[in-house]
Amino acid sequence: MAPEISTPAILLRRTDYGDYDLILTCLTLSQGKISLMAKYAKKSRKRFAGALELFTELNLVWNRPRGRAMPVLREASIANPFGGIRADVLKTAYASYWTEMVTLWLESGTPQKAVFGLLRYALDALDRDAMAAEVLSLVFQVRFLKLAGFLPDFRHCSRCRRPVEATQSGRFDFEVGSASLVCPACRPSLEGGHHTLAKGSLMQLLWVAETDLAHVSRMRFGPRQVGETTVLLETFIPYHLGRVPRSLKFLRQVRPGDRGEH
Ligand SMILES: [Zn+2]
């Protein structure tokens, strides 16, 4: 008999497969992102005791497949339902955006324990209202980009190489395509079409990227700083993914203050 694998996992995506089955995309603690076949799960919710809801933290058991076949789920039990997320449209939109980033960005089958920890942290805090959702989304995006190796150098001006904390106050430019930051002193040489960020917003972004996650919830975030950093991240991420995630379009439709365009 094939060896059994048992691991915590977060359900990222469910896709119908024929009339009876579901294909699940999960971020697992020990195996990274994987796809699993859940036989009869579409036909009968009872098959896995209603455990296969999006964003749920589960304990999964499956057999290591022969060759390249998709593994077949044997057991699923709920570790944390995060039910407060699915009961709220805005929370669902945020959780969908984060899980779609993970789905689109991570390669399958490579363990990503830090990403698992980050996603679990964000879903748990969203579920419990531990932090404002827009702040949590900023934290998730910055930390995820860092773990994925795509966080731009927000610490130095790309022209004069001066560290942000050593520059004069004022607005920095950020050029999305080249992911380059330009300090206020070097700014006059730039053409238009850039995003700008206040020095305070940049310092907050750097702090979010580098501090221990356990301390993040104690920080005070200014609404204006969160707002302009959010606009930058939600422009940078689609640019580097090569498309606007569907979940981000949905988030923009349901988020108060958004105009539903972009
Ligand atoms: Zn400079």
pLDDT at residue 262 tops 50: no
| Ramachandran angles phi, psi of 189, nearest 5° | -80, -5
Residue in 14, 126, 119, 136 with CA at minimum distance from that of residue 76: 14
Residues 208 and 201: their CA atoms lie apart, in Å, by: 11
Kindly give the distance from the C-alpha atom of residue 236 to the centroid of ligand 1, in angstroms, as a whole number.
21
Which 3-state string (H, E, C) describes the chain?
Answer: CCCEEEEEEEEEEEEEECCCEEEEEEEECCCEEEEEEECCCCCCHHHHCCCCCCCCEEEEEEECCCCCCCCEEEEEEEEECCHHHHCCHHHHHHHHHHHHHHHHHCCECCCCHHHHHHHHHHHHHHHHCCCCHHHHHHHHHHHHHHHHCCCCCCCECCCCCCEHHHCCCCEEEEECCCCEEECCCCHHHCCCCCEEEEHHHHHHHHHHHHCCHHHHCCCCCCHHHHHHHHHHHHHHHHHHHCCCCHHHHHHHHHCCCCCCCC
Give the pLDDT mean for 52-65.
94
Predicted local distance difference test score (pLDDT) of residue 189 = 63
Asked if 194 and 124 count as a contact pair (C-beta separation under 8 A), the reply is no
Predicted local distance difference test score (pLDDT) of residue 28 = 97
Kindly give the distance from the C-alpha atom of residue 167 to the centroid of ligand 1, in angstroms, as a whole number.
8
Kindly give the distance from the C-alpha atom of residue 15 to the centroid of ligand 1, in angstroms, as a whole number.
48
Kindly give the distance from the C-alpha atom of residue 242 to the centroid of ligand 1, in angstroms, as a whole number.
29
Residue in 224, 242, 243 with CA at minimum distance from that of residue 134: 224
On whether both 72 and 105 belong to a single domain, the answer is: no
On whether both 53 and 166 belong to a single domain, the answer is: no
pTM given for the model? 0.94
Kindly give the distance from the C-alpha atom of residue 4 to the centroid of ligand 1, in angstroms, as a whole number.
55
Predicted local distance difference test score (pLDDT) of residue 2 = 67
Domain containing residue 66: 1-81
Predicted local distance difference test score (pLDDT) of residue 218 = 87
Residues 83 and 20: their CA atoms lie apart, in Å, by: 25
**Which residues fall inside 5 Å of ion ligand 1, going by CB?**
157, 159-160, 183, 186
On whether both 93 and 69 belong to a single domain, the answer is: no
On whether both 148 and 37 belong to a single domain, the answer is: no
Give the pLDDT mean for 168-185.
91
For residues 43 and 139, the model is more confident at 139
Predicted local distance difference test score (pLDDT) of residue 69 = 87
Model confidence band, residue 182 (pLDDT cutoffs 50, 70, 90): very high
Each residue of 78-129: pLDDT tens digit? 999 999 999 999 999 999 999 999 999 999 989 999 999 999 999 999 999 9
Model confidence band, residue 159 (pLDDT cutoffs 50, 70, 90): very high
Predicted local distance difference test score (pLDDT) of residue 38 = 95
On whether both 107 and 72 belong to a single domain, the answer is: no
Kindly give the distance from the C-alpha atom of residue 39 to the centroid of ligand 1, in angstroms, as a whole number.
58
On whether both 65 and 101 belong to a single domain, the answer is: no
Give the pLDDT mean for 58-83.
92
Asked if 97 and 248 count as a contact pair (C-beta separation under 8 A), the reply is yes
On whether both 72 and 138 belong to a single domain, the answer is: no
Kindly give the distance from the C-alpha atom of residue 198 to the centroid of ligand 1, in angstroms, as a whole number.
14
**Token output for 195:** 């995003």
Kindly give the distance from the C-alpha atom of residue 183 to the centroid of ligand 1, in angstroms, as a whole number.
4
On whether both 51 and 139 belong to a single domain, the answer is: no
Kindly give the distance from the C-alpha atom of residue 223 to the centroid of ligand 1, in angstroms, as a whole number.
26
Q: What is the CATH number of the domain that holds 58?
A: 2.40.50.140
> Mean pLDDT of all residues in the chain?
92
Predicted local distance difference test score (pLDDT) of residue 68 = 83
Each residue of 189-234: pLDDT tens digit? 666 657 889 999 999 999 999 999 989 988 889 999 999 999 999 9
Predicted local distance difference test score (pLDDT) of residue 67 = 84
On whether both 49 and 103 belong to a single domain, the answer is: no
- Strands of the sheet containing 180-182, edge to edge, are 180-182, 171-175, 195-198
Predicted local distance difference test score (pLDDT) of residue 250 = 97
Each residue of 8-48: pLDDT tens digit? 999 999 999 999 999 999 999 999 999 999 999 998 888 88
Kindly give the distance from the C-alpha atom of residue 219 to the centroid of ligand 1, in angstroms, as a whole number.
28
Residues 105 and 116: their CA atoms lie apart, in Å, by: 13
Kindly give the distance from the C-alpha atom of residue 147 to the centroid of ligand 1, in angstroms, as a whole number.
27
